[in-house]
Amino acid sequence: MPTSAPVRIAIDRDDSHAEHIGITTDDRQFFITAPFVPAEIGIPGSEYIALYVFDKYGHLLDAVIESLGQRSAVSALTRISRREDLIKGLGPVEHQRITIAPFKVKRFGVEFGLIAYPPEEGDDDWRVVAEPGEYMCFWPPWTSGEYDT
């Protein structure tokens, strides 16, 4: 069992939350994703679009995070259009597996990123979770490229 947070995790491209990952022509890695704050009683929840850019070693270089508004009011067309703009802004890209370090940044009063969490109990493993929204969870082995939803 790992006794410390992972240095890097691999993410394989898929047709779900990791569809928009890859490498730019200058060897930067990128991950475009749709974090969210879930709605609660009396609180509408929020949707975001995030572009995380990493160097070739997986260290975060930049985090572009935009609020798309209340979850119930965001259209798929708005989300897709903004995502396509972010991809175009990267220049030519190759969609493929990436290997990046866990990270977190704070925007809009909310923590975003792939955040490493220590074990909750003695036999538990470290985990890395896409936040906000807990929509991807990575477990050892960190090189598998797979995640739970």
Structure token digits, residue 125: 């493993």
In a domain, 50, yes or no: yes
Amino acid 2: pLDDT? 54
Is 11:18 a contact under the CB 8 Å cutoff?
A: yes
- Angle at the Cα of 39 from the Cα atoms of 20 and 68, rounded to 5 degrees: 45
Rounded to whole angstroms, what are the CA distances from 73 to 3, 36, 86, 116? 43, 13, 21, 31
In a domain? residue 46: yes
Residue 82 sits in which domain range? 10-100
Distance CA 95, CA 31 (A): 10
The predicted pLDDT at position 103 comes to 98
Q: What is the pLDDT of residue 123?
A: 82
Q: How far is CA 4 from CA 8, 25, 99, 103, 109, in A?
A: 12, 33, 18, 15, 27
| Residue 118 falls inside a structural domain | no
Q: In the prediction, which pLDDT does 118 show?
A: 95
Q: What is the pLDDT of residue 121?
A: 86
User: Does residue 129 lie within any of the structural domains?
Assistant: no
User: In a structure prediction context, what are the per-residue pLDDT tens digits for the chain, which is 149 residues long?
Assistant: 557 899 999 999 999 999 999 999 999 999 999 999 998 887 889 999 999 999 999 999 999 999 999 987 888 898 899 999 999 999 999 999 999 999 999 999 999 999 999 998 878 899 999 999 999 999 999 999 999 99
Distance CA 87, CA 83 (A): 6
The whole-model pTM stands at 0.93
Structurally, how many domains does the chain consist of? 1
Q: Quick check: is 138 in a domain?
A: no
